[in-house]
Amino acid sequence: MTGIEIEADPAEAGFDPDRLARLDRRLGRFVDEGRLPGWQVVVSRHGKVVHASCYGERDVAAHLPVEPDTLFRIYSMTKPVTALAAMMLVEQGELLLTDPIGTWLPEFAEPRIFAGGTDLEPVTVPAAEPIRVRHLLTHTAGFAYGFLRSHPVALMYRNAGLDEFGGGGQTLAEITRQWASMPLVFEPGSEWQYSIASDVLGRLIEVISGEPLDAFFDRHILGPLGMTDTGFVVPEAQRHRLAELYAATPAGFARADRLAGAALTERWPSGGGGLVSTARDYQRFTQLLLRDGELDGVRLLAPATARLMHTNFLPDNQDLASFGRPLFAESPLVGVGFGLSLSTTIDVPASGMAASVGDYGWGGFASTAFTVDPALELTYEFYTQLMPSTAVPVRPLLRQLVHQAIVA
């Protein structure tokens, strides 16, 4: 159990301390105005933590503060960890990005596309293209997310009890077979849509590696990186550190108890959104990404593979706004491409953000977010527990406030 610690003087790392102080003041206003329950933020440069702060409460009813070692559900910030696991198997020669996933998951060998009808009486046609590994990593497989209710296929997920974030008593193998029994929204590779693709990828990792996904994470990623507080289930002895999960309502914060319980009970490990972590642990993951796959003498990926993860995979260098169905993303859409479970800035003026070309990251459903900026040797992460992630415009402000503080 370890909190995050300052490792370098901000001024020596190129920050104006007075400008950096704006970050806490502005984020603090969200708490003071009753828009966020509490938060934690970490900024690192040149591999060293230069700013770490927390404010507000992890449990509003009990008036328990956010502390340096508070545990947060990071939801879709799990996806890059799952992508890393998959790329480790690619490096071992166990699979190629172009391989059809039906090679290991025969339930996906003959996918069908939704062509009309309703969620209760769908009309489907055979897919012309198999679902490939790269489609899972880039959210171009044709899957949906039940909680978005964006398409009859999403309603089919909900009708089957597959609407959001795990739950239920199924194994990952069982729930994956249920998804496979339903049609795809579109032809694999033809569009982009945020979806359960990372969860299917988690099952693929299990089959290829012969290990449950949580065990694979522990043995090959979390353990080697020293991410000792990260996992799919919070041990009972550490549950007092876990922040409460809230939903934003017109009347204020409502406890999201149904979803909150997923971090407390054994269930299928969601590679798309199941991890709980701390600022200290996830900062180590961002440093691994920044350092092209190596941290403190532990190398998990070769540099070329690590850089491939944040290369734009959308055809003709398109952005998320132009390719497919960007109904929802944990990232801006305009001027932003997509790699292997990571968004990447490809056009700074179009994005309207403080950014560098080639910076990358992602966020989570409870309003967490992270960015890695290789050009500036910069990383920053934000943690809170408010859903949905669109409730408060933290992410663009976070970017602006971090970048305006860099003066050298």
Instruction: For the chain, give every domain's residue range.
Output: 70-373
**Counting beta carbons within 10 angstroms of the beta carbon of residue 25, is it exposed (0 to 12), middle (13 to 18) or buried (19 or more)?**
exposed
Instruction: Indicate if the pLDDT at residue 330 is higher than 90.
Output: no
Task: Catalogue the active-site residues.
Answer: 76
At CA 12, angle to CA 10 and CA 16, rounded to 5?
A: 50
Query: Can you tell me the distance from the alpha carbon of 229 to that of 256, in angstroms, rounded to the nearest whole number?
Result: 23
Q: Is 320 in contact with 307 (CB distance < 8 Å)?
A: no
Q: Is 338 in contact with 318 (CB distance < 8 Å)?
A: no
| 27-39 residue pLDDT tens | 999 999 999 999 9
Q: What is the mean pLDDT of the chain?
A: 95
| 172-184 residue pLDDT tens | 999 999 999 999 9
Q: Which residues pair with 336 in a beta bridge?
A: 345
The average pLDDT across 363-386 equals: 98
| 7-58 residue pLDDT tens | 999 999 999 999 999 999 999 999 999 999 999 999 999 999 999 999 999 9
- Name the pLDDT band for 189 (thresholds 50, 70, 90): very high
Pairing of strands 298-299, 336-338: unpaired
The average pLDDT across 155-184 equals: 85
Instruction: Indicate if the pLDDT at residue 161 is higher than 90.
Output: no
Q: Is 368 in contact with 386 (CB distance < 8 Å)?
A: no
Tell me what pLDDT residue 328 has.
76
The average pLDDT across 195-202 equals: 97
Tell me what pLDDT residue 1 has.
45
Q: What percent of the chain has pLDDT over 70?
A: 98
Tell me what pLDDT residue 234 has.
96
Measured CA distances, 195 to 102, 144, 171, 356 (Å): 18, 4, 19, 27
Range 70-373 has CATH code 3.40.710.10: yes
Tell me what pLDDT residue 164 has.
58
Which residues, other chains included, contact 300 with Cβ-Cβ below 8 Å and sequence gap of 6+? 84, 88, 220, 221, 224, 225, 288, 293, 294
Instruction: Indicate if the pLDDT at residue 171 is higher than 70.
Output: yes
The length of the chain, given as a count of residues: 408
**Counting beta carbons within 10 angstroms of the beta carbon of residue 231, is it exposed (0 to 12), middle (13 to 18) or buried (19 or more)?**
buried
Instruction: Indicate if the pLDDT at residue 224 is higher than 50.
Output: yes
The average pLDDT across 367-378 equals: 98
| 80-89 residue pLDDT tens | 999 999 999 9
Tell me what pLDDT residue 165 has.
57
Largest CA distance in the chain: 63
Q: Which residues pair with 345 in a beta bridge?
A: 336
For the whole prediction, is pTM greater than 0.95?
yes
Tell me what pLDDT residue 30 has.
97
| 73-129 residue pLDDT tens | 999 999 999 999 999 999 999 999 999 999 999 999 999 999 999 999 999 999 999
Query: Can you tell me the distance from the alpha carbon of 46 to that of 374, in angstroms, rounded to the nearest whole number?
Result: 10
